[in-house]
Amino acid sequence: MDHKALPSELGLEIFCALDSLSDILSLSATSHWLRGIWIEHTDLIYRQVAPRSIRGEKHARALQFAISGNTKITPNGALSIKHRANFVGSIMNQFNDQVAKNRRANNFGSFYPPDGICPRKLTKTERRRFIRTYYQLWNLIQIDEQQWQPTAASLSMKQVYLLREMCWIPLPIGEDLPGPQMKQFFPDFMFYEYEGRRGKLGSALQETINDHAKKKDSWWINDCPWLVRKETKNEGYAGFHLLWDHGKDALKQYCLGRPRLHQVSLSEEEMEYERQHLWAETSDEEDGI
């Protein structure tokens, strides 16, 4: 059959019904007609299909926009997003093997029914939280250093804490930066501020956290979630505490906790501001693939 006799709308409908970018790329390679439809309608087709197949797609797309400067998805841009998604998936699998499988946490029945023991692998919500935070950190680390703190200030405190913690991941952040040069970094966690951009970014994020603590005048002003304590064996694994599902309550307390010495009454508007700009519940921890 002569493809030229077929309406392009039919080809577009076929593309948009596919399950993944891999399917799109395979189909577009079968004929010049289909290739032309893919090239002409890349952005539309991508936005229909990619959220079904790429974890953290909106954050993967945001990283592509930041790197390319183009707010529309091109064929090369779609390839780049697919490649990075595979890379991030590989990083998450390594993190699962090196970190998550060694964590210990008991008596968290509300998070891990029925026995209250956390699994030795990332849960579905932890995977989404990991991918979102990793993409955001990758995006942040590749921009100009002068923009780090202004960008951090535009994020919720919840995400700043998670980004700060992710700076200690014993794996590369992005493809262009080397991984940490430390032997036996895990399982015996020790605080180590990496050299280079990763260390500078970690310090900038920590400064944002310190400023937040001072403004809140909170009981934890001289504390932090990552202090090495004997009881950490039952709170999480090594320096990672806030990423885990059972760290959500502690993270919320760090973001919204009231001062210890005096209770402050907030107006409804102030409480709504804190909910939106300090905590900012993220729907992609509950929805998506």
Q: What is the per-residue pLDDT across 205-259, written as a single tens digit (0 to 9) for each?
A: 988 888 887 776 555 555 556 554 444 443 444 568 888 888 888 888 888 765 5
N residues, the chain = 289
List CB contacts of 209: < 8 A, sequence separation 6 or more: 157, 160, 161, 164, 224
Q: Which two tokens stand for residue 201?
A: 């970014």
Give percent above pLDDT 90 in the chain. 42
List Cα–Cα distances, 24 to 4, 65, 173, 250, in angstroms: 20, 21, 28, 43
DSSP label of 163: H
Judged on CB neighbours under 10 Å (0-12, 13-18, 19+), 9 is exposed
pTM: 0.85
DSSP label of 18: -
Type of residue found at 183: K
Q: For residue 256, how far is the Cα from the chain centroid? A: 21
Q: Which two tokens stand for residue 229?
A: 């304590």
Under the phi-then-psi rule, with left for phi > 0, alpha for psi from -120 to 50, and beta for the rest, what region is 280? Answer: left
pLDDT in tens, 91-145: 999 988 888 887 777 777 677 777 777 788 999 999 999 999 999 999 999 999 9
Type of residue found at 15: F
> How many other CB atoms are found less than 10 A from the CB of residue 165?
22
